A and B are shown apart, each in its own frame.
Chain A
Amino acid sequence: MITRAGGNHENGYALRIDDLSVSAATAGGVVDVVSGVSFDLRPCEITALAGESGSGKTVTALAVLRLHDVRTLRIRTGRILVDGADMASAGPDVLRRIRGEKVSMVFQEPMNSIDPMYTVGSAIVEVIRAHQRVTRRAALRQAGELLEHVGVPDPRNRLGAYPFELSGGLLQRVMIAMAIANQPSVLIADEPTTALDVTVQQQIMQLLRRLADEGMSILLVTHDLAVVSEYADTINVMYAGQIVESGPVREVLSEPEHPYTAGLVGAVPDVANRRLELSTIPGRVPPPDEFPAGCRFAPRCSFAEAECDAPVAQLFPREERRVRCVRHAQLSLEGVEPYA
């Protein structure tokens, strides 16, 4: 019942972000916090949007559903194409149709994103009836099936439970059930397991992987490269508002072409091997009004040369690989070793 492949099969993507820039009004004028971001979400794939805080990954994800803070942020350029609509310019009716029905979202803290006053069942019923003309009773039946589909034990009885009665892991499953209730083709998951224990994280990631295998496109916003490594198909690495590198997960992480990607990979404390010292990236992410005009990573990059002072366009070293580094061909960077 829930299985359904996503939107534009003929075009190969369920959602396309094309040259998205989001600007913020600051004391020093208008600055881009997200600039020129482009990528596709394809059916049956988990696409990771990875980066540290301040990279613009969450703003990008929120902008897809136009959930960014409109008091401070504005979509300055770009298109967000899904199901024949452009979310970047869509009016309220189109927004209402796309949200929840075509694209839905799961957040980091399940406890903070569900109304504590309603039972789990009535919360899901509300979501279903917002988009489908069904009776309350039929919707409740669907809600039970949904909970079963996302692996909530004893689903029929859990419909009457209040959020506080459920553990963080169960609640995140409920949130996922709500998100997929109207069979959207795209699911955006913003750090869905960051607040959860590692054993629960594994269960939730396996659930998301199964939903992708059943046809959904999933955008996984995360800072955790180990999670990306195990569960995602493609990765977009963001730094200072731009995608600096993207491609198939295995290729990007094992043979990074951008020094920032290599730096991140080296800094991850890994359970598989102990190092005497973790490698670090000097300095810190600049605030948006101090983004350099040239390569934004150059001030922190140990490979930077004079040529890095000019703005860097996306480069396409290999099929499906994009990198934003003019020196990438001269560098040989260390990546992740395959786990034996």
Chain B
Amino acid sequence: MPESDISGVQDVTSPRVVAENLTKVFVTKRNAFGLPARRLTAVRGVSFELRQGEIYALVGGSGSGKSTVARLLTRLEKSDTGRVLVNGTDWTLLRRSALQKQRRAMQMVFQNPYASLDPTSMVVHLVGEPMIIHEKLARRDLDARVRALLDDVGLPSDSLHKYPHEFSGGQRQRLAIARALAADPDVIIADEAVSALDVSSQAKVLNLLLRLRRERSLTILFITHDLGVVRQVADRIGVLSEGELVEEAQADALFDEPTHEYTRTLLRSVPIMGRWR
């Protein structure tokens, strides 16, 4: 695996996130004594870093370990080896309460906005909750702050008292992004965040993420199987195959001159607009 710091432009600031030698083994079968009988190594020795203000795409097929990496980074899952440094703090050493305080820094946006937003919760609570939790914001200040955020992600600011079902898929994903932004994060992990959307709403959400990165200097880890999307947004790309990071490069370099055989296979199989039959 190539070292991440030889792959092009080096940021002068220290990295926002450092993933070091992450491994995750799941027990998929136990014997009659409850002891592990079969194991699956979902992630094997994965290391990479996210630099301030960059969009790093993690690509790979289903079962390659992309989502597990996201869960290891955010400590939704404990890794078996390695460390996760966020703004210099090692999250793997933190106890629950300390971790809770740190969580603000790294927020997630999930694939399915129909499943990730509480259907019984109004927008003002959905989006405002992180502010109440992380900055102990008073209720009376909530409306104005939520309105401003909705405006920022391109949703009508009079939607405060609506429920998720009143929004389309693309709008719900904006809601999920607004909720993530409400914590004022340094890093957003978008796990297949535009995969379930139609192309026209997908384009709008991608443009939104690009703008947020520009305006807030957000660092974005973009997890996807869609290489067309990666081409449009990524600065750097890591390719996962069977739990291992097999290639990492600047986006243009990876598309122009893929070095690993798996990356080549992946790029060869993508359908391309204008390559007529």
Contacts and interface: CB of A to CB of B under 8 A. Distances in A.
Interface of A: 52-53, 168, 197-199, 201-202, 205, 209, 223-227, 229-233, 249-250, 253-254, 263-275, 277-281, 284, 336-339
B268 to A, nearest CB: 8
B105 interface: no
A268 B265 contact: no
A205 B203 contact: no
Given A223-B198, A230-B277, A264-B199, 10 more contacts: A53-B198, A198-B225, A202-B268, A225-B199, A263-B200, A264-B200, A268-B228, A272-B272, A339-B272, A339-B275
B98 interface: no
Contact of A197 (B61, B168, B273, B274): B61
Contacts of B276: 229-230, 249-250, 338
A51 B61 CA distance: 25
Interface string B220-241: 0000011111111000000000
Given A264-B200, A278-B203, A339 B231 contact: no
A264 B201 CA distance: 10
B204 interface: yes
A228 B58 CA distance: 26
Given A202-B269, A205-B271, A277-B207, A52 B277 contact: no
Nearest to B234: A274
A269 B231 contact: yes
Contacts of A284: 168, 170, 201
A83 B201 CA distance: 40
A266 B203 CA distance: 9
Given A52-B198, A274-B232, A265 B269 contact: no
B62 interface: yes
Interface residues of B, number: 39
Contacts of B269: 198-199, 201-202
6 smallest CB-CB distances across A and B, nearest first, come from A278-B203, A202-B269, A52-B198, A339-B274, A269-B228, A226-B271
B201 A279 contact: no
B246 interface: no
Nearest to B233: A269
B85 interface: no
A46 B277 CA distance: 11
Interface string B55-68: 00000011000000
Contacts of B272: 226, 229-230, 270-272, 339
Contacts of A52: 198-200
B273 A277 contact: no
B228 A270 contact: yes
A37 B212 CA distance: 42
A137 B134 CA distance: 68
Contacts of A271: 227-228, 230-231, 255, 267, 270, 272
Contact of B274 (A168, A198, A254, A267): A254
Interface string B247-277: 0000110010000000001111111111111
In this complex, the member of A52, A201, A205, A278 whose beta carbon has the largest number of chain B beta carbons within 10 angstroms is A278
A333 to B, nearest CB: 15
Contacts of B228: 226, 268-271
Of the candidates A231, A254, A274, A338, the one having the most CB atoms from chain B within 10 angstroms of its own CB is A274
A232 B275 CA distance: 11
A302 B226 CA distance: 29
Nearest to B63: A197
22 contacts: A198-B61, A199-B61, A199-B265, A199-B266, A209-B277, A226-B270, A229-B275, A230-B272, A249-B277, A264-B199, A268-B273, A269-B199, A269-B206, A269-B226, A269-B231, A270-B273, A271-B228, A271-B230, A271-B267, A271-B270, A284-B168, A336-B273
B273 A198 contact: no
Contacts of B270: 198, 226, 271
A269 B255 CA distance: 14
Nearest to B231: A271
A103 B106 CA distance: 51
Contacts of B168: 284
A263 B168 CA distance: 19
Contact of B277 (A223, A233, A281): A233
B202 interface: yes
B111 to A, nearest CB: 13
Contacts of A279: 203
A259 to B, nearest CB: 12
Contacts of B271: 201-202, 205, 224, 226-227, 229-231
Contacts of B200: 52, 263-264, 267, 280-281
B155 interface: no
Nearest to A249: B276
Contacts of A233: 277
Contacts of B132: none
A209 B61 CA distance: 23
Contact of A275 (B226, B232, B274): B232
